[in-house]
Structure 1
Amino acid sequence: MSVSHAPNAPQAPSVVDAERAMTFGRETLQIEADALLSLKQRIAGDGAAPFVKAVQILLNCHGRVVISGIGKSGHIARKIAATLASTGTPALFVHAAEASHGDLGMITADDTLIAISYSGEAGELLSIVPIIKRMGAKLISITGSDTSSLAKLSDVHLNVKVDKEACPLNLAPTASTTATLALGDAVAMALLDARGFGEEDFARSHPGGALGRRLLTHVRDVMRTGDAIPKVDEDATLYAALLEISRKGMAMTAIVDAKDHVIGVFTDGDLRRLIENVQDFATLSIAEVMHRNPRSVRAEQLAVEAVELMEEFRINQLLVTDVDGKLVGALHIHDLTRAKVI
C-alpha cells in the first residue's frame, strides 16, 4: 500500500550555497550598519533637539518609564525596558494589545510612555494614546515617519526611518528594528550619564553577575574566622608553627601577642628559604624567623581590594585585622576564587 505525503511535509534539507549565504550575510550587516550611521547623523547638530528633549523628559520622570509596542516592535520595546531598568531608570514593558484590556492600569500620570511603531499607525497603540494624554503622562514615540499619527500625538518624536530593510523582500523588520534598538541604547546611555550612574549602582542592579560580586563582596564575606584562622603565640617554636600551618591548610600562620595583635607571619615560602640557609631547626623560635609587620586588610574592605593587594605583592594569603591591629580573620586566594571575586 502506498503512503501519500501531505503537501507541506518537510523535505530533506538542501545543501547551503556557501558563497550565496555569505553574500546575504554581508549585505544584511552592511544595510544595518548604514541604517545606524544614518541614525547617528540624525541626532547630530540641529537634529539632536528631539533626542535631547526625550532624555530630559525621562530624566525628570517622577514615575516609571513604560515602553509599549506590538509585534517585532514589542520585542524591541521589551529589551529597551530591560536596559533602562538595569542602568538606573525604573522601566517596564506593557504589551500594546494588553494595555487596552486592563494593563493600562499600570500607567499613572507620573509615568512617561515610550510608544514604538515603525509605521506610527499601530491601532493598538493609537487606541490608548488619548487615555495617556488625558491622564497627563508624557508621550515619546519612536516611529519611521515624522508625519505618522503617533508622531503627531507625541510630546517628542524620535525618527528611526531607514532607507530599506535588510530583508531582500524589503518586508521583514530588520534594519528598522536594529535602528530602534540602537536608539533605545543611546537614550539609556545618555540617561545613565545624566544620572551619574556608576559601577557600584550597576552592581546593585546585578548582584548575581561578575561585576556585582566584585563590587558588593567584602572581605568579611569570604574570610576565614574563629578556629579556621592559623595563628600561634610569639613564644611558640618553629615546629609548633609548622604544625599549625599544616592543620589549617593556608600555607601560612599568623604570629600574635597575648592580646591577639598581629606581630608577624610565617609562610611556606619562608620555610623553603629557611631550609636553604639553616641546618638546625630544633632550637628556633617562630619569633626569630617570622616576617614582622605583615600586609593585612580590614574586614570591611571590598574583596577586590584584597585581590589587588595580593597581585601587587605577589602573595596568596592575607591576614585580616581590625583598626587596632587585632587578628579577626585570614584570607587565601582560593577563598576569593571560590567566591568568584576572581
Structure 2
Amino acid sequence: MGERPGSYEVSEGSVSADTHTAAREFAVPLEVELGEEHNLARLAWRRAEQDPDHVSFEVFDQTWQPITATEHRDGVAAAAKGLIASGVEPGDRVAIMAGTSYAWIQLDCAVWAAGGATVPIYPSSSASQVEWIVRDSGALLDVEGLGDTAAAYAHLDEIAALARTAYAELVHDTPGFVDYFKASTPVAEIGDLNIGSRPASRKPTEQISDLRAIPWVMSWSLSRVMLPGWYGTGTALEQWVGEDAERLATLRDYYARWPFFQTVMSNLAQVMAKSDLGIAERYSRLVDDEALRERVFGKIVDEHARTVRMFAAVTGHDDLLWDNAALKRSVFNRFPYLEPLNHLQIELLRRYRAGDEDPQVRRGILLTMNGLATALRNSG
C-alpha cells in the first residue's frame, strides 16, 4: 500500500490496512514437501499400497457391495486413461454433472490422476447456470454423456410448459378450487404456528397467488397430497410423448444417460412416495360440498395415477424409490407413525372448525403439524 497518513503495513505475517480499507494476508510454510507429480488422486494409490484389501467404499446394488482399495485404484486408473484418450491434458478443467455417488468420487479422482481439475455442477442447476459455470471455468470436456444438450433442454422446456398449463388448469381455472383447498387442508390453522414473523398471505384476499410459498407447500404436505411437487407432470409427459414411440425412447435415453434428468425424475418420485391418497381422501371429507369434493379430488387422483404411470414408462421402474434403498427404508419406516397423526389431525380440525374452543384441541392441531412436518421433510 502507498504510504499516507493513517495507513500502516506489515509485510510478513501479514496485515495491511488503512483508515478506509482492511485486508489480511497470511502465508504459512508447507508442512510436507510435494513433488510436481503428486495430487489428491495419489491417496488412492497410497491406500492400495498400504492395505490392498481395505474396504474403502460400499455401493448398494440390491445388496451392499464392498469396494477394496485395490479395486478403487484400478477403477480410477482406468477412468483416467479414458480421459487422457479423450484429450484431457494436465491443467485442463473437466465439468462433472451428477448426483452424489461412488461413480462421481471415482471420476473426480480420475480427473486429478489425469492432471486435470474437476468443475462440479449440481444436476439441479438451470441451463443458464450450467452454461455460465462451464464457460467461466473453461471446462473442456462434457462428461454428461449427451454431447450437445441444447435439444435435450429444449425438450424439457416443452414438457415444463405443458406441466405449467395442467397445473394452472387445476389451481386457477377449476371453479371452487380455493374453497376446496381451504377446507381440505390446515392452511388456515398454519398461521397459528410460530414459524416466522410474516402472515401466511401477502394480502387479505382469497387468491392463491397471494399465499406465501411455505403455507402453500406445507398445507398439501400435511394433507399427504404433496401436490406442488408433482401435479401436472404426468399430463405433460403423456401429452409430449403422445403416440410417438420415438419420443418415449428419447426420454428413456435421457433417463439412462443424463444425470440432470435422472435427478428431476428422482425428486419427483421422492415427493410422490410420501403422498398417500387414502389419507388425502379423508382430508377431502372436510369439504362439505360433495360435488366440489368429487370434482377437485377426482382430478388429483387421476393426475396422480397418470404421473405414476408415466414415471414407470420413462424409467422402466414401477417402484418410485427403486434407486434409493436407504431413503426407501427411511420413508416407509416412518409411515406407520405418521398415519395416526394424520387421522388425529383430521378429527381435531373438524372439532376446531365446528366451534370447539378447548385449548387442547388447538394445541393438538399444532402438535400434529409439527410431528408430520418433521417426519415428511417436504413441508415447505
- TM-score norm. by structure 2 comes to 0.21
Question: More strand by proportion, 1 or 2?
Answer: 1
Q: TM-score, normalised by structure 1?
A: 0.23
Larger Rg: 1
